[in-house]
Structure 1
Amino acid sequence: MKTLIAAVAFAAAGFAGAASAAPIFALDAMIVADGPRGTADNRAEIANALGDDATTFFELGRSAIVDFTFGQLFTGGLVVKERTFGDVTAHPESVMILGGRDGAFEALTTVTNRDAQGAGFAFLFEGVYDTLRLVDTTTFARSRGFDVASIQVESVPAPVPLPASALLLAAGLAALGVARRCRPA
């Protein structure tokens, strides 16, 4: 009987933990403070930083501030991909990333274009946010700013209710246990 109850508890835990964080990409972006940017390669188009297409990019512009939203709350981690044509060491760029919720922001990390090339820069964090704010911190005179190809975060999993059948099974097993104890020897 104890083995059966343990199996039910294990199955119930499996149902409750079935939700896991799913990757989501930025759906919208808004320029809070604009900075100078180039126009070559369509880099002035903010929509280039949305979604999972890392073949295009949006140049933030030096000292620019841009808020990216994802349509839901997120936590756990982010991946930022940057795209620089040519040698990233010859054109150093950087961006400070802040997590925000309901208009309040806190600094998470700073990323360089060197770190965010290829597979991107991955970073884990603990807060729950609805916005990522990117503040361009590039100081190199010949660079106009960090180039955002894509931003990916993890969604907050919704609580998964325990299936009613599992609760009924647990109640039935508990009743059997009570009945067994009350049985005359």
Structure 2
Amino acid sequence: MKNERGLTLIEVLATLTISTVLLGVVLLLLSSTSLQSKTSGEKYNVDAEIRKTMDTIAKEISDSNQAYAATNDFRYVTYASGSRQVKSLYYDAAAKTLKMYVFKSANIQDNVTLATPGIYEYQRDLSSHVTGVQYLPIVGTSPLSGNLSGGSAFRIVLTFTFQRSKLFGGFEDYQVKRETGFKLLQY
């Protein structure tokens, strides 16, 4: 009889175990790389939305000389279009949206709401991920309210809430806070 030697059961099991471990490591690396790529794309989109929102607010308010701060409504006088116009930066806490409107009222301090017909016009969506808005003085944490005149300095703090992918599926919420400061012009 010739010396025919086959694989023993132990050798087959050892080979299967090593192969399974190596395959698991390769799949974990692929999953991790895929998640990293996906989260990089998500982060880019988040950063772009935040930057666009903050830039729009800065551009709109930068030439203002008068403003009125309320809890969810910041009205300001702007001359960006070449003529006097009153606009509103309106935060809807229930919908988690920040919108900009042209405020069509004779008085910037009018006690009106979005439901008042003909006052808030030409809606412009800024972000659907805002979960907090604060109008604060440059120094301090007491929210501003009421009239702000030329020369007044303040800051706007926005809290954004986004979802990001988790390693083994699903999503988790995370918050990003951004703020920008302003000084109303004196004409």
Q: TM-score range by the shorter chain?
A: under 0.3
Of Structure 1 and Structure 2, the greater helix share is in 2
Higher relative contact order (CA 8 A, sep 6+): 1
TM-score normalised by L of structure 2: 0.27
TM-score normalised by L of structure 1: 0.27
